[in-house]
Amino acid sequence: MQDTSSRAALIRQALIDTDHSDPTIQVIGKHRKMAENPFRFLRGSAGLFYADFKQQHIQLPDALFTWPLTMVIGDCHLANFGLFTEDGSSGDRVKFGPNDFDDACIGHAVWDLVRLSVSLILAADYCRGVQQGIYPADELVITRKDHVTSEAGALAAVRAFLLAYQQQLATIARDPEQRFAVLDHFEKGHVLRPLLKKTIKRSVIGEQFLQKSTLAKNVDLQQRPLRFIDKPGRFERLSDDETAKLADAFAPYMSDCILDIVARHGAGTGSLNMQRYYVLVGPAQIQHSDDFALCHLVEIKQQRDAAPLAFFRELSPMNRLNAAHLTVDCQRQMLRRPDLVLDELIYNEQPFLVRSLHHASVDIGPEDVCVHAEDADLSLFQYAQACGRALALVHSRGDRRSTRFEQQVSQSLHQHLSELETACQHYAQQVINDYVWLKSHVERHTNG
């Protein structure tokens, strides 16, 4: 166990390395977000998470690191799963799975297992804390009449996640074609069923496409030519010269005409301080409302190195690719039908990731699965199982030549379940302690 001063030094250095800002001297917007609750702290501190793995502060059986390496999500947590269409904005089949591959690389599968498990515990803690007035709620309203996942329920969800992951890999080991399965159906009563229906309604074939799709919520569909809605603090209009420069650089990666470009601010937690642009793409002339289906949004985001690579780049030569190239390669292989827009470019000598902003996508937060009118423990349990299956599928696709990974993991994971669960509980408490440290510095700067 680290003493208080050495732990503080590790947190401080990890945040400096990732964000180029020392929270003991100056607090940036990202650190303010992280100081809202431990779940947000976890989301924004992937660098610290991997520093703890490197220094063996997360105690796990050695056997869990003997599994074959695979492609991992890297920043695997509850809110980096969601519902979206296959093929990006070019498709209409909605599925559930990981939706953020910014930290994907070649690594140890157990990294994703631990990070997701810890996030389940902290998501439930967050919702209980909002209900009790411990954490700020933002726009989230949880009354004392609402059911919130209990501590025991969160631990049961961790077990459900790990077992579902193991069982899905065992299924693939028996039948390798099962690695191409997707989660696109949920029975009545499942926490994800209404969210799946909500996403389908927003797709090109859905009845709410012109009201609730990503296109409809960000673009003025009444104006000609089409342009982004004015959203102060979120969208920044650029000068004509800068817009022309960006349009010239981005045009080769677009499937149609560039109709508008804005800078996007305030998105994400881990990537909050990274430069990003939204590009509206479609026909030069809109003749009919049916033409809106030909339009779509593209995000072009500056890409930093995947969080694990600060400590584990040497695990594979593939990890030496530039940050955007590595993300693209991993995402294309881990998804059955990846975004057709997905690409990378170099702009101002920096790697940028090109990707669709899906017409139909629903992000999932703690309040969606840890708060329920009747049984919040069951709600998180169901969600954790779905995450386990989805994560096993993307890990399995990291190497399609054999089932060595699936066989070894499915045969050995159950032998170490208790040790893995205990390590996740301990690390969740460590994150809570780390959050308290950062919160004290944010408050000092705010009040000081």
Per residue in 389-431, pLDDT (tens digit) is 999 999 999 999 999 999 999 999 999 999 999 999 999 999 9
Amino acid letter at 134? I
Burial of 78 (0-12, 13-18, 19+ CB in 10 A): buried
Element (DSSP H or E) covering residue 147: strand 147-148
DSSP 8-state secondary structure symbol assigned to residue 190: -
Tokens in use for 229? 């809605």
β-strand pairing of 70-72 with 235-236:
unpaired
**Contact status, residue 299 vs residue 63, Cβ threshold 8 Å:** no
Q: Helix, strand, or coil here: 197?
A: helix
Per residue in 83-127, pLDDT (tens digit) is 999 999 988 899 999 999 999 999 999 999 999 999 999 999 999
> Comparing C-alpha atoms, which of 17, 76, 12, 19 is closest to residue 272?
19
pLDDT at 329 over 50: yes
Counting residues of the chain whose pLDDT is more than 90, the rounded percentage is: 90
Query: CA-CA distance, 64 to 166, in Å (whole number)?
Result: 13
pLDDT at 230 over 50: yes
pLDDT of 272 reads: 52
Burial of 310 (0-12, 13-18, 19+ CB in 10 A): middle
Query: CA-CA distance, 53 to 133, in Å (whole number)?
Result: 33
